[in-house]
Structure 1
Amino acid sequence: MLDPRWNTFLAVCETMNYTRAAERLCLTQPAVTHHIHYLEDHYGCRLFSYEGKVLRLTEAGLRLLEFTRSMAYNSRKVENAMASPVPVSLRVGASKTIGEFIIAPKIERFLRAQPDASFSLMVDNTQVLLRELEAGRLDFVLVEGFFDRSRYDAQLCQREDFFGVCAPGHRLAGRSVPLDELVGERLILRESGSGTRAIFEEALHRQNYTLDSFSSVVTISDFSTIKSLVVDGLGVSFLYAPVVAQELKAGTLARFDLAEVPMSGAFYFVCLKDNLFAKSWVDWMHES
């Protein structure tokens, strides 16, 4: 059972406003202030400070937030586990590549093994999923791309090839292409915050290029639309192998690679630090 003062601290962190935190917790504002002052006295440091009229977490507050998120999450899960009988409940987040092309067999296996389970899957880009994880609304996430691993417990699930795709008759098809030749092409990419886009942008940066180097960049969040446009010869894209496996086999898309920048991507299992339930979930993810 979590100390209610930590719940108050988390509410202030989420709202960054004492009044709104009090409304959310059905407390008075003086009570919220008292809880925060108690924690500051107990730990001997300031947890919040004002910059003008804007409330900010101090460095000490950020450290406490990291610990408290994990404790609050574990506390809720333990209470649910102790409520008997209670069905298994699992809330998973997956980045779009994983959610649309990889995770379905694992969900099917879980539901067959747990017929009474409550299961939800949120598919979104990596940055959105990490925010939901930190807010305690997801048990764990499966993400691609780049994130601050020091803030979470993270384990590698698998690696996948990452490469360019174009229409079969395109001049780039089947080639190893220099970046200075690619910049004349229209790029069709996922939105900012997606792991797919982050992998490609990081590869550009390694060669001192950015998306501004290209004459035309189209942003689309839907894989089906991206692939359809590429098939129609309206641009090229960069995607993971599982996303285009069927199209490459059918010959409706062709692969090309960047000559100077071999690319691959990693998919990670990510949860809050010190999660008491992480091991069983990791084992489930690695089951064949």
Structure 2
Amino acid sequence: MRPAQLKAFHAVATWGGFSRAAKKLGLSQPAVSDHVRKLEETYGVQLFIRAQKSVSLTALGRQLFVLSEKIAGAEAEARDLLSRARGLKEGQLTIGADAAVHVLPLLSRFQDKYPGMNLKVVSGNSDTLLSRLEAFDIDFAVIGRKVSSAIFETRLLSSSGLAAFVSEGHPLSGKARVTFSQLVATPLVLREKGSATRQLFEDALAARNLAPVRAVEVEGREAAREAVVQGLGAGIVSRSEFQADERLTMIEIDGWQAEMSEWLVCLKSRAGLHMTAALLELVDES
């Protein structure tokens, strides 16, 4: 068994398909397929059930995935050991964030303290980032909700209220405050499923037995903002994330006391690793 074959298997199992695994590994899809095929042929086993548009693990594949996750974790520990030996003079810390604004001040302090460390920030919604964290694809996630799973270590970074925002010329643009009923009577721009902002808003609507007359679903924070700018509807945003723009107006929503809290999350099994612990310590010192 070659390490590249097991790594390809682990990526396909983690991301649920050969094309997504290839993208994450920076390889071509045929190369990933070839690695997995050779692994299966070497041992005369089947690790995946291949359908036209999806793949799923066989019973043996699920057993191997448990082991490959442990190996991925061991690799991370090995990298940490070597980085610790260098006193964090080199290495890379990867942070996934729905909105980088919440973590940039912390990363600036980290960079000042450990100037030799490379920092990489990737984007995604809360659900996606937690999945990447469990797959050892990132070191930290910054998400808009607290997770209660025992496998995660969490730290509160910030909290902020939520509001609506609309483009100039929108029917609600002249108002300082609106009710939920007024808001859902106009088209809305909502983030994709898995967005903490969307979940808080939908929970508020459900509690009031309300539903939007029409909603446009847009993936990504910047895309949602641009959709509002283009007049597709009213959006929902954390006040701390709203950027002043003459094309946009923020509007308070009557009776909504919900807050968006941003949490720094890592795997508890990796919280003691030197690079991980160094960032957690900076949060605890704040």
Query: TM-score, structure 2 length as denominator?
Result: 0.68
State whether residues 157 and 261 of structure 2, in contact with CA within 8 Å, keep that contact through their aligned partners in structure 1: yes
How much has 1:104 moved relative to structure 2?
Answer: 2.6
How much has 1:29 moved relative to structure 2?
Answer: 4.7
CA distance in 2, matches of 1:23, 1:252: 50
SS of structure 2 residue aligned to 1:116:
coil
CA distance in 2, matches of 1:180, 1:128: 31
Q: In the alignment, which residue of structure 2 is the partner of 1:43? A: none
Q: In the alignment, which residue of structure 2 is the partner of 1:74? A: 77
Shift in CA distance, 218/256, structure 1 to aligned 2, threshold 3 Å: same
Percent identity over paired residues = 20
CA distance in 2, matches of 1:267, 1:167: 26
Listed as ranges, the gaps of 5+ residues in structure 2 are: 18-31
Shift in CA distance, 232/94, structure 1 to aligned 2, threshold 3 Å: closer
How much has 1:194 moved relative to structure 2?
Answer: 2.3
CA distance in 2, matches of 1:24, 1:9: 8
Q: In the alignment, which residue of structure 1 is the partner of 2:24? A: none
SS of structure 2 residue aligned to 1:132:
helix
Listed as ranges, the gaps of 5+ residues in structure 1 are: 34-47
Q: In the alignment, which residue of structure 2 is the partner of 1:262? A: 257
Q: In the alignment, which residue of structure 1 is the partner of 2:35? A: 23
Q: Is 1:183 aligned to residue 184 of structure 2?
A: yes
Q: Which amino acid aligns with 1:193?
A: G
Q: In the alignment, which residue of structure 2 is the partner of 1:117? A: 117
Q: C-alpha offsets along residues 101-132 of structure 1, whole Å, 9 cap, x if unaligned? A: 23333333322332222221112222222222
CA distance in 1, matches of 2:278, 2:231: 45
State whether residues 186 and 234 of structure 2, in contact with CA within 8 Å, keep that contact through their aligned partners in structure 1: yes
Q: In the alignment, which residue of structure 1 is the partner of 2:277? A: 279
Q: In the alignment, which residue of structure 1 is the partner of 2:215? A: 217
How much has 1:241 moved relative to structure 2?
Answer: 1.0
Q: Which amino acid aligns with 2:35?
A: E
Q: Spell out the pairing of 1:1-288 with structure 2 (5 A cutoff).
A: 14-16=11-13, 23=35, 29=41, 31=43, 54-56=56-58, 68=70, 70-82=73-85, 87-95=90-98, 97=99, 99=100, 101-145=101-145, 149-167=149-167, 170=172, 173-177=175-179, 179-209=180-210, 213-221=211-219, 223-224=221-222, 226-227=224-225, 230=228, 234-244=232-242, 246-247=244-245, 252-259=248-255, 261-275=256-270, 276-277=272-273, 278-287=276-285
CA distance in 1, matches of 2:113, 2:248: 38
Q: In the alignment, which residue of structure 2 is the partner of 1:42? A: none
How much has 1:233 moved relative to structure 2?
Answer: 5.7
Structure 1 stretch 234-243 or stretch 142-151: which is displaced more?
A: 142-151
Shift in CA distance, 188/255, structure 1 to aligned 2, threshold 3 Å: same
CA distance in 1, matches of 2:56, 2:81: 36
CA distance in 1, matches of 2:133, 2:268: 11
State whether residues 156 and 269 of structure 1, in contact with CA within 8 Å, keep that contact through their aligned partners in structure 2: yes
CA distance in 2, matches of 1:175, 1:62: 55
CA distance in 1, matches of 2:8, 2:236: 40
How much has 1:271 moved relative to structure 2?
Answer: 1.1
How much has 1:287 moved relative to structure 2?
Answer: 5.0
Q: Which amino acid aligns with 1:237?
A: G
CA distance in 2, matches of 1:32, 1:79: 37
State whether residues 165 and 248 of structure 2, in contact with CA within 8 Å, keep that contact through their aligned partners in structure 1: no
Q: Which amino acid aligns with 1:256?
A: E
CA distance in 2, matches of 1:139, 1:105: 17
Q: C-alpha offsets along residues 229-275 of structure 1, whole Å, 9 cap, x if unaligned? A: 5467652111001221534xx7951322143x432111111111221
How much has 1:199 moved relative to structure 2?
Answer: 2.3
SS of structure 2 residue aligned to 1:219:
strand
CA distance in 1, matches of 2:280, 2:223: 32
Query: TM-score, structure 1 length as denominator?
Result: 0.68
How much has 1:86 moved relative to structure 2?
Answer: 5.7
